[in-house]
């Protein structure tokens, strides 16, 4: 049972219940930094090395270590990990035996501390630590900051009760994640089948992009679009200006992220850069892995323009649908085509408009394009709904954490 707490006291991190304590992070656990592996230690077999990217991205490749190492650097399922550099975060490891790289603490709990409660409480601590980070490129906090970072602490029974409530929401999020992953696999399989074999074809031919149905054409992208135009650079911001879409607006799923974008001064030739519903937007500059993200502008904003890191394509509706161009380019992105043809620079890669419009693409009849578009768009809509559900659950979790971890709302302990 949850109830509102009225008896609160003021502390350096805000109000908490009178019967709770305020403790330092070093009072509740020991923090063992990972081993400083160098590239010469990396192998292709042995125990996986947990690096920051392996915590942030479950699909990131591992490096391995097959030598002898002190037990303090060994990690197993259930261990609590606290990344203190580059991407500050807390994680419960559940991917088998591994070894820990530097920039990540293994958290060893003291007596009377519930592991799951500390996992959630560390998110409160992170908000304090973010105010003390050092470094312009590699953001990090120093170990000494753990001595001046505080969390609330209550009885072990109440710790467990708080963690139990929050873990219910986490379980719901995990189930949505499973559905999203399953739907993504379905979409990828459908794209592979429909964009190469089409619907109901029996005869196929060899082409420069592989086998396609006999009735399909293979054309250059330039043959089916009216234009491919890059946007304009604008480093300035102007709240009275016009909204400009940027790299962060283009999601890898083919949608526009409406939470990004900035307002910039209105250029004299602004009409040349106004987006219209149905415009295909291609990310022409990014990291090598993300270059080539593509989306369709569907009128998410009433009036907006786009940056020079994006290329706008207007399709010829008598030859091709915007959705067909989107799915073909997304498939090429998945296959790493853009990584292969991009121009690489020190920090970013780029694809110029000429290389883009010279790409060969398969071209079914308009009627078949629309049938395939409809199938894939249905899966896309399901993905979008599931991601909205996940976002809603994450907001619920954050709200509960704000209330439960500060004791404004408490869990009745029998």
Kindly indicate the confidence band of residue 291, based on its pLDDT and cuts at 50, 70 and 90: confident
- Tell me what pLDDT residue 413 has: 84
Same domain, 52 and 141: yes
CA dist., res. 52 & res. 85, Å (int): 8
Work out the mean pLDDT of the chain and round it to a whole number. 91
Q: What integer is the mean pLDDT of 268-295?
A: 89
- The torsion angle over the Cα atoms of residues 394, 399, 402 and 408, rounded to 10 degrees, is -150
In whole angstroms, what is the distance from residue 1 CA to residue 120 CA?
Answer: 20
pLDDT tens per residue, range 142-163: 788 889 999 999 999 999 999 9
What is the number of structural domains in the chain? 2
Q: What residues does 347 pair with on adjacent strands? A: none
Q: Are 229 and 334 in a shared domain?
A: yes
Q: What tokens does 4 get?
A: 């509102």
**Is residue 183's pLDDT more than 80?**
yes
Q: Domain boundary at 103, 128, 153, which? A: 153
What is the per-residue pLDDT across 69-124, written as a single tens digit (0 to 9) for each? Answer: 999 999 999 999 998 887 888 999 999 999 999 999 999 999 999 999 999 999 99
pLDDT band at 349 (very low <50, low <70, confident <90, very high): confident
Q: Is the pLDDT of residue 346 over 70?
A: no
Q: Which domain holds residue 126?
A: 21-153
192, part of any domain: no
User: Which of these three, 112, 127, 153, is where a domain ends?
Assistant: 153
Locate 360 and state its tokens.
């060969």
* pLDDT at 23 > cutoff 80: yes
Q: Given the DSSP bridges, would you call strands 98-100 and 47-50 parallel, antiparallel or unpaired?
A: parallel
Statement: residue 347 has pLDDT above 70: no
Same domain flag for 346 and 222: yes
What CATH number did the domain enclosing 115 receive? 3.90.220.20
Please name every residue paired with 207 in a beta bridge, in sequence order, or none if there are none: 210
| Each residue's pLDDT tens digit, 119-133 | 999 999 988 888 767
Query: Do residues 328 and 235 share a domain?
Result: yes
How would you classify the pairing of strands 409-411 and 2-4?
antiparallel
For residues 127 and 226, state if they share a domain: no
Report yes or no on 177 lying in a domain. Answer: no
Residue 246 has pLDDT above 80, yes or no: yes
One domain, residues 248 and 110: no
Among 128, 88, 83, which residue's Cα sits nearest to residue 102?
A: 83
Q: Is residue 86 part of a domain?
A: yes
Say yes or no: 39 and 130 in one domain.
yes
Q: Dig out the tokens for 50 from the structure.
A: 């947990």
3-class DSSP state of 379 = helix
SS3 content of the chain, % helix, strand, coil (to 5): 35, 30, 35
The confidence score (pLDDT) of residue 131 equals: 77
Can you read off the two tokens belonging to residue 136?
A: 């312009």
Domain annotation covers residue 254: yes
């Amino acid at each position: 049972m949850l109830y509102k707490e009225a008896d609160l006291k003021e502390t350096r991190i805000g109000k908490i219940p009178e019967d709770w304590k305020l403790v330092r992070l070093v009072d509740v656990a020991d923090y063992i930094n990972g081993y400083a592996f160098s590239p010469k230690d990396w192998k292709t077999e042995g125990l996986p090395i947990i690096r920051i990217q392996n915590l942030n991205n479950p699909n990131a490749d591992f490096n391995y270590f097959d030598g002898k190492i002190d037990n303090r650097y060994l990690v197993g399922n259930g261990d609590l990990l606290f990344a203190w550099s580059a991407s500050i975060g807390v994680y419960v490891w559940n991917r088998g035996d591994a070894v820990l790289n530097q920039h990540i603490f293994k958290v060893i709990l003291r007596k009377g501390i519930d592991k799951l409660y500390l996992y959630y409480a560390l998110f409160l601590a992170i908000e304090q630590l973010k105010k003390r980070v050092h470094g312009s490129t590699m953001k990090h906090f120093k170990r000494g900051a753990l001595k001046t970072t505080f969390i609330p602490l209550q009885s072990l029974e109440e710790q467990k009760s708080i963690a139990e409530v929050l873990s219910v929401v986490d379980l719901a999020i995990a189930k949505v994640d499973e559905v999203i992953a399953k739907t993504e696999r379905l979409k990828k399989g459908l794209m592979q089948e429909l964009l190469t074999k089409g619907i109901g074809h029996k005869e196929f031919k060899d082409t420069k992009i592989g086998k396609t149905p006999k009735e399909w054409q293979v054309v250059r992208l330039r043959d089916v679009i009216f234009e491919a135009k890059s946007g304009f650079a604008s480093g300035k911001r102007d709240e009275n200006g016009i909204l400009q879409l940027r790299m962060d607006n283009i999601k890898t799923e083919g949608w526009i992220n409406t939470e990004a974008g900035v307002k910039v001064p209105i250029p004299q030739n602004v009409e040349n850069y106004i987006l219209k519903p149905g415009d295909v937007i291609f990310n022409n500059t990014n990291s090598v892995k993300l270059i080539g993200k593509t989306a369709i502008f569907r009128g998410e904003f009433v009036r907006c323009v786009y940056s020079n890191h994006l290329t706008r394509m207007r399709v010829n509706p008598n030859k091709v649908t915007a959705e067909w161009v989107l799915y073909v380019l997304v498939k090429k992105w998945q296959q790493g085509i853009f990584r292969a043809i991009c121009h690489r620079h020190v920090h970013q890669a780029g694809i110029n408009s000429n290389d883009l419009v010279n790409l060969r693409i398969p071209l079914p009849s308009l009627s078949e394009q629309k049938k395939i578009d409809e199938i894939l768009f249905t899966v896309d809509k399901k993905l979008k709904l599931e991601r909205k559900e996940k976002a809603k659950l994450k907001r619920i979790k954050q709200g509960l954490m704000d209330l439960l971890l500060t004791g404004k709302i408490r869990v009745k302990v029998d």
